[in-house]
Amino acid sequence: MANQHAAPVFLNLLRIRFPVGAVTSIAHRISGVLMFLGLPLLIYLLDLSLQGPAGFERAVEYLQCTSLRVASTVIAWSLFHHLFSGIRFLLIDTGSGVNLQQARRSAWLVNIVGVAMALIYLWWVL
C-alpha cells in the first residue's frame, strides 16, 4: 500500500471566488491578448479607410455589421481596461495604493470604468 496515489481532483474555476485585484490582473492579461488579436482587423480597416473616399465608405459599411460592432466594442473594452489597469499597476509599482483597501478600491474603479467606457463607445457607435 506504499504506492497509493491520490485521485485527481476536479478543480472548478467557476466556483472559486477570486479577489477583485486578481480579477483585474487576469482581465489585464486577457485584454492584452484581445488587443493583439484585434490588431489585424484594426490595421485592415485603417488601410481600407485611407485608400480614398470609396475605401472609407467600405470601411464604414463593414462597421455597420452587427458582428463587427460587437468585435469593435470588445476591442474598445480591451483598450480601455488595459490602459487603466496598466496605469493602476504602474502606480502600485511606485508605491501608491499599495495598502489593501486602496488596492481593492482602485481595482473596482478600473473594472467599472473600463466597462463604462466600453458602453459609452457602444452608445457612440450605435
Give the domain ranges of the chain.
20-125
Measured between alpha carbons, how far is 55 from 91 in angstroms, rounded to an integer?
Answer: 42
Give residues with Cβ within 8 angstroms of 102, minimum separation 6: 96
Residue-wise pLDDT tens digits, 91-105: 999 999 899 999 999
Supply the mean pLDDT for the chain.
92
Please state whether the predicted TM-score (pTM) of the whole model is above 0.85.
no
The pLDDT assigned to 20 comes to 95
Query: Is the model's pLDDT at 125 over the cut of 90?
Result: no
| Res. 126 pLDDT band, cuts 50 70 90 | confident
Q: Which helix (H) or strand (E) holds 95?
A: none
One of 1.10.3300.10, 1.20.1300.10, 3.40.50.300, 1.20.1260.10 is the CATH number of 20-125, namely: 1.20.1300.10
The pLDDT assigned to 1 comes to 54
Nearest to 25, CA basis, from 90, 108, 85: 85
Percentage of the chain lying above the pLDDT 90 cut: 81
Do 68 and 58 meet the contact criterion of CB atoms below 8 Å apart? Answer: no
Nearest to 78, CA basis, from 41, 115, 52: 115
